[in-house]
A and B are shown apart, each in its own frame.
Chain A
Amino acid sequence: MPTTAFLTDSTLCIGCKACEVACKEWNGVADDGFNWSGFSYDNTGAVGHSTWRHVKFVEASPEPGFGGNAPELNTWAFSSDVCKHCENAGCLEACPTGSIVRTEFGGVYVQPDICNGCGYCVVSCPFGVVQRNPDDGRAFKCTFCYDRQKVGLKPACAQTCPTESIQFGEIEELRAKAAARLSELHGRGMSDATFYDASDSSVKGTHAMFIVRGDPRAYNLPPRPEVPTEYMKKAWKSSAIGAGMLLAGSLLAFLFENRSNGQ
């Protein structure tokens, strides 16, 4: 089975949200409320249990010499966010039921028939993706359209994207594509275009890669995501010391009491 990935190129995204709609339609995901956020045209805010694809609307300061707007009006960039399907996935490591598994395509998949809603994956995801549905009780996130991939189809979002901003394919091919695209963008003068896949962090790379313009932090992409298993050694060491103190303290206290009673 090929290891697959998404490459989301925000320089091609037109903010149509067709990916959000296609995802909801195919996967039968519930609506995420009908609220006005006031943050540009983004009324969803973040990926979550009812939002598996999420288009970010990043308003940035205008570049002098471009466009005819008033200087206080902003330029627009769009980027479709999704579960990162980490190489070293915090949610998968944390899941106590084995509900979260890695598929043969390299994606991270929550088996809904096993999840018991303990919520530990929620606090173990460095990208804040997986979330417990309060009505259902279980945790949900992007399935990487596991069902579609099984029968050789593209995920619904990539299938529907009208500008090929969301590309889907074999991971190494997409990496090469991203490198080529990046040098093309740099050649065109977009020197702020950057590639994001968190491969320099403990997440060890993602199966959802991004090309964005400017600092990835403006897109809520963390510079150093940390998979929580990194803290495990320190934590269990402290636990062992704590247990040692409890045991030694109890022994000392009762032996001391015995001795002083005996005298």
Chain B
Amino acid sequence: MSKAFEFPEPDRERRLHEIRREAEQKGSVKSPGARPQGAPFPIASAETGYYGIPLLKQPPWTWEIPLYFFVGGAAGAAAVVGAIADVTGADRKLVSHARWIAAAGSVISPALLVSDLGRPARFLNMLRVFKPQSPMSVGVWTLVGFSSGAAATVFADFMQQRYGPSLPLRIVENAGQAASLAFGLPFSNYTGVLIGATTIPTWNQNVGELPMHFGMSGLSAAVGLLELMGHRKSRALQMLGLGAAMFEVWEGWRIESRPQQALDPLKHGLSGSLIRTGGMLSGPLPVALRLLSLVSNSRELRKWAATSAIAGSLLTRIAWIYAGHVSARDWRLPLEIKG
């Protein structure tokens, strides 16, 4: 309360004096009592909640988490793209680059996750149990499987390029690739499950779409990174990028067209602007640039589409986490009070 009060309050003192006089003269007081400064005071009620103090706690996560969502999504999708490119016999260079993106993610992701912990030294406590009912537990084990697979793949690949082909290394490479494909699929989108299955209203009201949304956002980023690494002639990447961006257009439309109060942080204020900017960079802009590049056969336009998609993917994760904070601060939602 910033309002400064005078003590003793002159109005209240005057009124008390009048009441005392009335009591002396008539023996009883019929008129209303003293009114202190600041009245009427804020009250707690079914309509106003408990002084508007939020029931829910905000996520305690720091900047590492949205970045982890971005890196993990891109790395998971890159591993899948790389593995499929490998088995379908696509350009070796593309396969190798996709593997390197996955491997880089397999190192950066755990680092980000560990540094966000309140007690980083206890990261290994995550691995003392496996709890299918906890998306965090499932996610950590997925990360372990993915990181091991992606790292083994590039290691074996690198050793063979350097020292020539060998059967054991070939086995490690294939097993690693199989693991990074199997774990990369859930790793690309489990972060949507992670924040969707929480008590934060704006997250859990989108729980059915968040994993798909994050998965396609990760694919956009993976395709964009590969294109920036020089694969701007690949028609497969163009199709994947176009498909993912079209999904993001649909996702944006879906958010905008639903009227729930719990979705307000996605449409209004700073969080709303971030979601919309991220959505534009992930959806309509890359779609338009990619279609134009198809017509004009311009690789320059594809570069811009790729850049836009990467920026959109990162901004989307930041925006969703921030919108969760805004949603947690909205005291009306858990109390089901219309606002």
A-side residues, CB < 8 A to B, are 36-40, 42, 45-46, 48, 56, 58-61, 68-74, 90, 93-99, 114-120, 122-134, 136-139, 214-215, 217-220, 222-226, 228-229, 231-232, 234-239, 241-243, 245-247, 249-258, 260
Contacts and interface: CB of A to CB of B under 8 A. Distances in A.
A119 B58 CA distance: 10
B35 A94 contact: no
Contacts of A256: 235-236, 239
B215 interface: yes
Given A123-B59, A253-B237, A217 B49 contact: yes
A193 to B, nearest CB: 15
B162 interface: no
B32 A70 contact: yes
A9 to B, nearest CB: 18
A251 B90 CA distance: 11
8 contacts: A217-B46, A228-B204, A234-B207, A246-B219, A249-B243, A250-B81, A253-B235, A255-B88
B60 interface: yes
A125 B211 contact: no
Interface residues of B, number: 94
Given A123-B199, A243-B188, A247-B84, A70 B134 contact: no
Given A74-B41, A97-B122, 17 more contacts: A39-B42, A40-B51, A116-B117, A116-B126, A129-B57, A134-B60, A215-B46, A220-B49, A220-B50, A222-B334, A225-B334, A231-B197, A238-B207, A239-B212, A242-B212, A249-B219, A257-B234
Contact of B189 (A58, A129, A131, A243): A243
A72 B215 contact: no
B285 interface: no
B118 A123 contact: no
Give the 8 A-B CB pairs with smallest separation, nearest first: A117-B118, A137-B118, A242-B215, A215-B46, A116-B122, A38-B1, A220-B50, A96-B137
Nearest to B114: A116
Given A220-B335, A222-B334, A232-B135, A119 B200 contact: no
B18 to A, nearest CB: 13
Contact of B193 (A139, A235, A246): A235
A215 B214 CA distance: 39
Interface in B21-58: 29, 32-36, 39-46, 48-51, 53-57
Contact of B337 (A119, A138, A217, A260): A217
A254 to B, nearest CB: 4
B125 A219 contact: no
Interface of B: 1, 29, 32-36, 39-46, 48-51, 53-57, 59-61, 77, 80-81, 84-85, 88-90, 116-120, 122-123, 125-126, 128-129, 131, 133-137, 140, 185-186, 188-190, 192-200, 204, 207-212, 214-216, 219, 234-237, 239-240, 243-244, 247, 324, 328, 331, 334-337
A228 B335 contact: no
A214 B46 contact: yes
A16 to B, nearest CB: 19
Contacts of A243: 185-186, 188-189, 215
Which of B125, B128, B199 is packed against the most chain A CB atoms within 10 Å? B199
Most buried by A among B122, B214, B237: B122
Given A119-B60, A255-B88, A71 B236 contact: no
Contacts of B41: 40, 59, 73-74
Contacts of B209: 238
A118 B118 contact: yes
B211 A242 contact: yes
A96 B60 contact: no
A239 B211 contact: yes
